[in-house]
Structure 1
């Protein structure tokens, strides 16, 4: 992950000029972050989660589940590409032809060694600031999911869920559905 340069602030207009080089480019508070392409374990977890969540959401006509690369434009200085995101049917208008214009209802980031600090600290604060309702941090190495839910003004501490646990994540889309996903499916 590139170290941000506090003297240079990039905008969405600058972002559109970044090279299409197979790496993930993001802007957080105008700082340019570059992440190498993820490893196979990361992609397998992402694929499994996408399949499970898409099926759940589609069957109930709750909205859309989208996977990276998909630009989420939070502001002129904040453009991210979450691994997975959910947008409720009621908020479908934020989906444009080119990108997502505003905060998704759910953002999922899957950790790997170069993104851990950014995903757990920087992006969590960013998503909180822009009103993301729920944020999951999936850690394939520790086999955990940290679930942050927005309550009123801030996202509280995480509920950690471990692989093989019987806990369900039915609260993902407003408490609908039972046993949406168990971690032993990852």
Structure 2
């Protein structure tokens, strides 16, 4: 739901906006877009990916870190708060003690498709993340039983869809082993 204000808000005003509620918002070209609360199932999947990826990072000694539904990405006119993202440690350090918003592409974004926001997760964000230059975008669609890995090539995503026992391939994490069956069994 978009919250309309008397005048459009600047990005700087968004950074300090407080309405006294526990609601979370994304910024969309001067307007606030309320984020709907996640389900337990959705939260379980986010935590599974966070632990799985952090284990892979630790095991492979990658200079990366994982964020779960907290770090935002400012794509120019709007912010997005991915379910899970992976950024470099240098990006994390550059944030310092300022708002947890990246102004440059992170390495990987994961979105778990919400039944009420299917086109946002599979169409809108796909276009935005590609234009912003995020190298890899995973779309987990538990209703369809699919796991899509989108790799950025010449400004557009090339999509590979995985099902059931297919082993998922990632350019960011080339040595990991995961299937959609394992994802579904984790919850």
Q: Normalising by structure 1, what TM-score?
A: 0.81
Candidates 132, 152, 155, aligned match of 1:153: 155
| SS of structure 2 residue aligned to 1:114 | helix
SS in structure 1 at match of 2:115? coil
Distance change >3 Å, CA 4–CA 150, structure 1 → 2:
farther
For residue 117 of structure 1, what is the aligned residue in structure 2?
119
Residue pair 1:74, 1:130 contacting (<8 A) in 2 also: yes
Greater relative contact order (Cα < 8 A, sep 6+)? 1
Gaps of 5+ in 2: none
RMSD: 2.5
Larger Rg: 2
Corresponding residue for 1:71?
72
| Cα shift readout 1:47-86 (whole Å, capped 9, x = no counterpart) | 11111111101222221111112222333x3222111001
Q: Who is 1:12 aligned against?
A: 11
| Secondary structure of the corresponding residue to residue 86 of structure 2 | strand
Map 1:15-164 onto structure 2 (within 5 A): 15-16=14-15, 17-19=17-19, 21-62=21-62, 63-75=64-76, 77-89=77-89, 91-92=91-92, 94-97=94-97, 98-101=99-102, 102-156=104-158, 158-162=159-163, 164=164
Determine which of 162, 180, 184 is the counterpart of 1:183.
Answer: 180
Identify unmatched segments of 5+ residues in structure 1.
none
Deviations 1:109-141 (A, max 9, x none): 111123212111221111111111111111122
The TM-score normalised by the length of structure 2 is 0.81
